[in-house]
Structure 1
C-alpha cells in the first residue's frame, strides 16, 4: 500500500475564533492529499479533466479527534482504501504538528463524463491508472 504524505501550514484564514481549523477546511486538505497521491502514482487529475472526465465525491465520512491550530504544520496521509475498477475510496489521516491523530476520514469517488455525467470504467478507459490503483490499494489483510 502506498501512502502519500503532504505537509499543510495552517493559515489564519482556515481557523475559527478559537484558532482551531474550521471543519470544512479539512475537505480541502483531503483534496490536496488526494492530488499528491495521484501524482505519486504518476498521474494528474488535470489530464483526466482534459479528456472530459471528472471525479465527483459520492460519499464522505470524517471523524474529528483533536484540533489542529493556527501556526501548526499538519500532516495529511492519503491512500487508496478500496478500488473496484469503477469506484475508488481514499483513506485519510491528518496529524497535528505534535504527531497526534486529528482526523480520520474517507471519500468515495466515481469517474464520469463531464458532459453527460455518465460513469466510466477506469479499468477500461485508463488501464495504466487502474493498474497503479490495484498496486497501491490497501490490502484486505491489513
Structure 2
C-alpha cells in the first residue's frame, strides 16, 4: 500500500538558492506518514492521548534533484518493514513531473511519553498491528 500526499511548496521552505531546504523534507515525510496512518483509519493524536509517542530512531535521506518554490510536490509513503516493535516507513518525494526528487526512510518505535520506556505496538495497539500487517501484505 502506497499513500500519495500532495505538498504545496511554500516560500518559507526554500533557501537562498530558491530550492527546498533539505531539513524540510523530514517535515514532508511526517506529513506523508500521518496521511498513511490516517488512510489505515487511525489518528496519531489518539495514540498520544494514551500517553504514547512514536519517536524517530533513525532517518535516512537521499537527494536526487531540487524542488523549487511554486512547484508541486508529492510524498509517497509506505511500510518498508514492520515487526511489531519497530516500524520503518519509506518515502519518495516526486516533483511536478512525477520524477523522483528525494527518497528516504525513517524508523520508529513507540514509547511511554513520560518515561520513554519502549512498548510493543502489537500489544499496546493490536488494531494498528493488524492494519500494519495488512498494509505490508503479511496477513
Short-chain TM bin: over 0.9
The equivalent residue for 2:126 is 127
Shift of 1:73: 1.0
Q: 1:138 Cα shift? A: 6.3
Q: TM-score, normalised by structure 2?
A: 0.97
Q: Any gaps of 5 or more consecutive residues in structure 2?
A: none
Partner of 2:116: 117
Unaligned runs of 5+ residues in structure 1 are none
Query: Structure 1 stretches (4+) deviating beyond 3 angstroms?
Result: none
Match of 2:67, SS?
A: coil
SS in 1 for 2:12: helix
Asked if 1:94 is matched to 2:93, the reply is: yes
Q: How has the CA–CA distance of structure 1 residues 17 and 138 changed in structure 2, closer, same or farther, with 3 Å as cutoff?
A: farther
Q: CA RMSD in A?
A: 0.9
- The CA deviation at 1:101 is 0.4
Displacement after TM superposition at 1:126 (Å) = 0.6
Q: How many residues align?
A: 138
> What is residue 70 of structure 2 aligned with on the other side?
71
Structure 2 residue matching 1:117: 3-state secondary structure: coil
- The TM-score with structure 1 as length reference comes to 0.95
Corresponding position of 1:8? 7
Q: What is aligned with 1:48?
A: 47
